[in-house]
Chain A
């Protein structure tokens, strides 16, 4: 569900970037990136099986 929301958010950012105000597009982009990082951190919980 969160990935559907992120794709929707990126689509909205693109539409605002094309039709809307630049400042609004930048703000929405920032919100989207924060959501992407949060989603990444939420999913990056598996231990990496590395040995150095």
Chain B
């Protein structure tokens, strides 16, 4: 795999992260389901997954950049596994609405495991690391640049929505109202 192709795949992975963050926003605003603390942590770790691809697009692919995303994916898998286990007992309705039979934290666990597998798979291709060691200017063209800005914008929107939801205190375990919008 050439460096150019690797950068294209990294840009695609950023669009995948953007899709996950958009789906989370859709559930939050269309179904009026506020994310719980563990749900927010999983969102944060999905956003953190994007740091590796951004570095790969900016500086060229390096194993250390993929390692950052791997660390974020493992941490995300741990957090989502805990939430799955919290609701695993028979009779527990789970937290929030199920989508295609699975709750969001179960989908998150599947997503983080898929990320770990895909990161391991892309690390198999050594040729991407052999070409130009560093690119001085942002690389990847409009496709990659748009992906980077889309993910940054969605993460920044999460700063605002989380501030509205939690306010300046600790987030509620089962949030039902936006703390800063309460009258």
Judge whether A11 and B55 touch: CB under 8 Å.
no
Judge whether A4 and B82 touch: CB under 8 Å.
no
Question: How many whole Å from A19's CB to the nearest CB in chain B?
Answer: 8
Instruction: Give bound CA distance, A26 to B54, whole Å.
Output: 12
Task: For the complex, count residues of B whose C-beta is within 8 A of A.
Answer: 43
Instruction: Give bound CA distance, A6 to B155, whole Å.
Output: 10
Judge whether A36 and B75 touch: CB under 8 Å.
yes
Jot down 28 A-B pairs with beta carbons below 8 A, ordered by A.
Answer: A1-B166, A1-B170, A1-B171, A2-B171, A3-B41, A3-B166, A4-B163, A7-B43, A7-B155, A10-B48, A11-B152, A11-B156, A13-B48, A14-B47, A15-B152, A17-B51, A17-B58, A18-B138, A18-B152, A22-B59, A25-B51, A26-B64, A29-B51, A33-B48, A39-B41, A40-B75, A40-B78, A48-B86
- B: which residues have CB within 8 A of A? 37-38, 40-41, 43-45, 47-48, 50-51, 54-55, 58-59, 64, 68, 71-72, 75, 78-79, 82, 85-86, 88-89, 138, 148, 151-152, 155-156, 158-159, 162-163, 166-171
Per DSSP, chain B at the interface is helix
Instruction: Give bound CA distance, A1 to B169, whole Å.
Output: 5
Across the interface, B148 reaches (CB within 8 A) one of A18, A36, A40, A50, namely: A18
Judge whether B72 and A11 touch: CB under 8 Å.
no
- In the bound complex, residues from chain B placing their C-beta under 8 Å from that of A6 are 41, 44
Known: A11-B156, A13-B51, A29-B51. 12 other contacts (CB 8 A): A1-B171, A6-B44, A7-B44, A14-B51, A14-B151, A17-B54, A33-B72, A36-B44, A39-B41, A40-B41, A43-B38, A48-B85
Judge whether A7 and B47 touch: CB under 8 Å.
yes
- In the bound complex, residues from chain A placing their C-beta under 8 Å from that of B89 are 49-50
Question: How many whole Å from A22's CB to the nearest CB in chain B?
Answer: 6
Using A3-B162, A4-B163, A14-B54 as known contacts, say yes or no to A50 and B41 having CB atoms under 8 A apart: no
